[in-house]
């Protein structure tokens, strides 16, 4: 279930995954370009990302490249790189707080998909705040309320979106 089943190095496996996706015209999607996550990545280098083992591609229907994971117990796998004192998911590319991308974005586990950026849909996320603070990044702030309508019922200015850092 775990490890480099093919005997390839992790770098080679990651490259193979990338090439395979490109070969099949399944482009690896970056995190949404407008998302503050593209210039953050703190949670991917703070929390250990673990998930039910069958989400790995060693199981039918699983997607997460098994070679990029390690076994936690009989039920759970974790992304490699997140066990030590300086955790960083092996799939995270780039510089935290500057520019990052998840190299397995379309294949990532449910725990990654379910981790919401703070103030997405107006909902705070203390775990997002905590990870950002740990990396010296200011927590995100909620979008400002729309300004009161100007005379004639038209907004006086466009409402700003949430600040990023
Ligand atoms: S810590 Fe928050 S802003 Fe940063 S990548 Fe994670 S969800 Fe996005
Ligand atoms: S798989 Fe992608 S989204 Fe999940 S922790 Fe790793 S880099 Fe972050």
Centre of ligand 2 to C-alpha 89, Å, is 6
The confidence score (pLDDT) of residue 153 equals 41
Centre of ligand 2 to C-alpha 93, Å, is 9
pLDDT string in tens for the chain (165-residue length): 333 333 344 444 444 443 333 333 333 334 455 789 999 999 999 999 999 999 999 999 999 999 999 999 999 999 999 988 899 999 999 999 999 999 999 999 999 999 999 999 999 999 999 999 999 999 999 987 666 665 444 433 333 333 333
The confidence score (pLDDT) of residue 84 equals 85
Beta-carbon count within 10 A of 30 CB: 17
The confidence score (pLDDT) of residue 29 equals 38
The Cα–Cα gap between 17 and 157 comes to 46
The confidence score (pLDDT) of residue 34 equals 74
Q: Which residues line ligand 2 (CB under 6 A)?
A: 44, 49, 79, 89, 91-92, 102, 104, 108, 112
> What distance lies between CA 141 and its chain's CA centroid?
19
Q: Which tokens sit at 126?
A: 């203390």
The confidence score (pLDDT) of residue 149 equals 61
Q: Which residues line ligand 1 (CB under 6 A)?
A: 36-37, 40-43, 115, 117-118, 128, 131-132
Nearest CA to ligand 1 atom 3: 37
The confidence score (pLDDT) of residue 144 equals 77
The Cα–Cα gap between 74 and 92 comes to 25
Query: Hey, which of 92, 97, 120, 128 would you mutate to test ligand 1's pocket, going by the most ligand atoms within 8 Å of its Cβ?
Result: 128
The confidence score (pLDDT) of residue 136 equals 98
Beta strands in the chain (DSSP E): 50-52, 69-71, 76-79, 92-95, 99-102
């Amino acid at each position: 279930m775990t490890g480099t089943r093919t005997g390839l190095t992790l770098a080679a496996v990651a490259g193979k995954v990338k090439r395979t996706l490109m070969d099949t015209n399944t482009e690896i999607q970056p995190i949404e370009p407008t998302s503050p996550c593209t210039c953050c990545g703190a949670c991917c280098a703070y929390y250990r990302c673990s998930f039910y083992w069958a989400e790995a591609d060693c199981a039918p229907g699983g997607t997460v490249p098994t070679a990029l994971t390690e076994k936690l117990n009989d039920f759970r796998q974790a992304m490699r790189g997140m066990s030590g004192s300086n955790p960083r998911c092996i799939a995270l590319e780039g510089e935290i707080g500057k520019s990052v991308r998840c190299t397995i974005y379309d294949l990532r586990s449910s725990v990654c998909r379910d981790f919401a950026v703070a103030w997405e849909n107006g909902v705070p996320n203390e775990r997002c705040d905590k990870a950002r603070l740990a990396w010296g990044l200011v927590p995100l702030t909620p979008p400002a309320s729309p300004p009161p309508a100007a005379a004639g019922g038209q907004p006086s200015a466009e409402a700003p979106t949430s600040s990023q850092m």
